Structure 1
Amino acid sequence: MRALLILTLLLLVPNVALAGDKAWGYMAAALSVGLSTVAAGIAVGLVGSAAMGTLGEKPEMSGRALIFLGLAEGIAIYGLIVAILILGKL
């Protein structure tokens, strides 16, 4: 699946394959941010849905629900940090 995604991106932007290492660094940074943001969105959706179900039954659990939502959003922040580290090496 990952290989298919990368090949599709390369077909859409044929100059990336010829541009060299710097272009691959930009591609890696973009994939890092993009995929981690998608994963964070899925995680927040699942955790948020479960949290709303729990809060309907036990309203006192709102603090824990917010903590779990924050942990799910952390995935996107980690992807952004990795992208910044990659771009710092270019």
Structure 2
Amino acid sequence: MSRQILLVALMVLGVALLAGLTSLLVWQPGVFAAESHAGAGAMLDPQVLSWAYLAAALSTGLASLGAAYAVASVGAAAVGALAEKPELFGRVIILVGLAEGIAIYGLIVSVLILNKL
């Protein structure tokens, strides 16, 4: 039983790490672009841009890690509760949805960071 939990935890962490790296790679080409981005007519320092893109990627990646852990914990408890009382489905699905909302909050933060550029 503990080996299964460890395997599921490693798979969830792997997927969250992959999501974080993917978001970093999606925004990376803008960091090293030859032309600089102009926000409201001002030239931005490339180092500032690289930190902003890194912050956006980290907010998405770490929020995905937190959401993965929360969904794994709540989902396991939800399946156990549903096995005993199937009428709790409506309440349980709300709790799993709230845990998944953590990833959406991280995505919103990264969008807000990118809109400031």
TM range, normalised to the smaller chain?
0.7 to 0.9
**Deviation for aligned residue 1:20:** 1.0
1:64 maps to: 91
1:81 maps to: 108
Letter of the structure 2 residue corresponding to residue 44 of structure 1: V
Query: 5+ residue gaps in structure 2?
Result: 1-31, 33-45
Letter of the structure 1 residue corresponding to residue 106 of structure 2: G
2:52 maps to: 25
1:46 maps to: 73
Task: State whether structure 2 residue 62 is matched by structure 1 residue 35.
Answer: yes
Q: Which has the higher contact order (CA 8 A, sep 6+)?
A: 1
Whose Rg is larger?
2
Distance in 1 (CA, whole Å) between partners of 2:62 and 2:53 is: 14
1:9 maps to: none
**Deviation for aligned residue 1:22:** 0.7
**Residues 67-76 or 19-28, more deviating:** 19-28
Q: Deviations over 1:34-71 (max 9, x none)?
A: 00001100000000000000001100000011000000
Query: 5+ residue gaps in structure 1?
Result: 1-15
Structure in which a larger fraction of residues adopt helix: 1
Q: Deviations over 1:2-46 (max 9, x none)?
A: xxxxxxxxxxxxxx9xx4111100000000000000110000000
* Structure 1 vs Structure 2 CA RMSD: 1.8
Distance in 1 (CA, whole Å) between partners of 2:100 and 2:80 is: 19
Distance in 2 (CA, whole Å) between partners of 1:75 and 1:84 is: 14
